[in-house]
Homo-oligomer: A and B are copies of this chain.
Amino acid sequence: MPVFLSTRDADFEAQFTALLGAKREDSPDVDHIVAEIIADIRARGDEALLEYTQRFDRLELTADTLAFSEAEIDALIAEVPAEEREALELAAARIRAYHERQIPEDQRWTDESGAELGWRWTPVSAAGLYVPGGLASYPSSVLMNAIPAKVAGVQRLAITVPTPDGVANPLVLLAARLSGVDEVYRVGGAQAVAALAYGTDTIKPVDKITGPGNAFVAAAKRRVFGKVGIDMIAGPSEILVIADKDNNADWIALDLMSQAEHDESAQSILITDSEDFAREVCAAVDRQLETLERRAIAGASWRDFGAVIVVDDLDQAAQLSDRIAPEHLELCVADPDGLSDKITHAGAIFLGAWTPEAIGDYVGGPNHVLPTARSARFSSGLSVMDFVKRTTLAKMTPAALRAIGPAAEVLAKSESLQSHGLSVTARLQSLND
């Protein structure tokens, strides 16, 4: 059974704080192993990469077969049934349309001093996308990472995806093709991250690495951060559903299970203003858990990290939601927009009972790579902004320098940075000569 709380419980605050603080993931400390792998890739390049791939993926490659050839990709993609291809195409089109609206605008203006100011945005030149192998090899995640990069204008987008025993996922390759990915390498683990960051003879280095992965991949991303940019280090998935009593308990239960089935460390929370409805949803979950294919995973997640919280009213729900700062937030209430306006911290909001979170995972359009573990307090989901960077621009005229230069001279002096001041003084003096 999940935790069942009411804000009227005498110990509610203590219990809620414990829920917020619960550690859901034991990250094994693999940092020293990862450090060795990275050092080895830096020292021996392709040779080390091929050895690790043989050892971890039981796959014999050569420098020539590290990348999938176009012909191999064509052949694998041809296996994809039409229904799946069409679904992936719809998803790609919708994700692209959403993200195209995120392209930021350059600005340039002249202020009252005559100084021209502004900024401009440029894409990262080369990006690498890590795609997990095996069970967590999600074609939808390829779309969600690759399309924003290509919309941003990244010229060279490389994917690494391990293919243990040589088994590739045709849908992953189709998603890569639909997204415009330029290179696909069949390598994985910390060695793939190291190859993307530092380069080998075969894999040219990239400037930014995104994408999910296991503890080795996460540790490798942390280590190469600075040498290249990385996206967030994602934790296990979470959903918070705020639902009033006028909901179908089965729908809400399925929404909760759609996070729980990801991972035993996932977390599903229901907040409702009706205790009766809360009990109905719990009963519906129990029924569903009898038949779900992933009932072992979903059941463990629900039992260990699930929570049901009964509140007095929806304002209270909004306040608790902001303390949770959920990755996914469903608002299954009569006025979802009104409730949404009372909420500040959430990765993605799904408005109304007709918007199950799963729509956002695939075909809604917004990105499904979202901040976990309460980091929606200070960070955002993946977007075009992760693949662009801003250069600020300033252009003085002699008049502008005369207007604002003296203040710079004073401040430079106050900070004991003499040359800073002199670089302005020399120019101002020439105007007086």
* Interface positions of A (Cβ within 8 A of B): 83-84, 86-88, 90-91, 94, 97-98, 101, 107, 109, 111, 115-117, 119, 122, 124-125, 135, 138-140, 171, 207-208, 226, 228-229, 233, 248, 250-251, 254-255, 257-258, 260-262, 288, 292-294, 298, 336-337, 340, 343-367, 370-371, 373, 375-381, 383, 385, 389-398, 400-401, 404-408, 410-412, 414-424, 426-427, 430
Name the residue in A101, A135, A344, A419 with the highest tally of chain B Cβ atoms < 10 Å from its Cβ: A419
Nearest residue (CB) in B for A140 is: B411
User: Which of B101, B138, B396 touches A352 (beta carbons < 8 Å)?
Assistant: B396
Residues of B within 8 A of A119 (CB): 366
CA distance A421 to B398 in the complex (A): 65
CB distance B407 to A362 under 8 Å?
A: yes
CB distance B354 to A207 under 8 Å?
A: no
CB distance A375 to B294 under 8 Å?
A: no
Residues of B within 8 A of A394 (CB): 348-351, 355, 359-360, 364-366
- Can you report 22 A-B residue pairs in the complex whose CB atoms are below 8 A from each other? A97-B111, A115-B365, A125-B344, A226-B373, A254-B426, A288-B419, A292-B418, A294-B417, A294-B419, A336-B395, A345-B389, A349-B394, A352-B396, A354-B397, A354-B400, A355-B396, A359-B394, A361-B412, A362-B407, A362-B411, A362-B412, A385-B385
CB distance B226 to A233 under 8 Å?
A: yes
User: Which of B139, B358, B379 touches A423 (beta carbons < 8 Å)?
Assistant: B358
User: Which of B361, B373, B407 touches A87 (beta carbons < 8 Å)?
Assistant: B407
Residues of B within 8 A of A260 (CB): 419
**Copies of this polypeptide in the complex:** 2
Residues of B within 8 A of A352 (CB): 395-396
Further pairs besides A117-B366, A359-B396, A385-B385: 7, Cβ < 8 Å: A87-B414, A288-B419, A298-B419, A357-B423, A358-B417, A363-B407, A363-B411
A100 to chain B, nearest CB (A): 12
CA distance A233 to B226 in the complex (A): 8
Name the residue in A361, A380, A422 with the highest tally of chain B Cβ atoms < 10 Å from its Cβ: A422
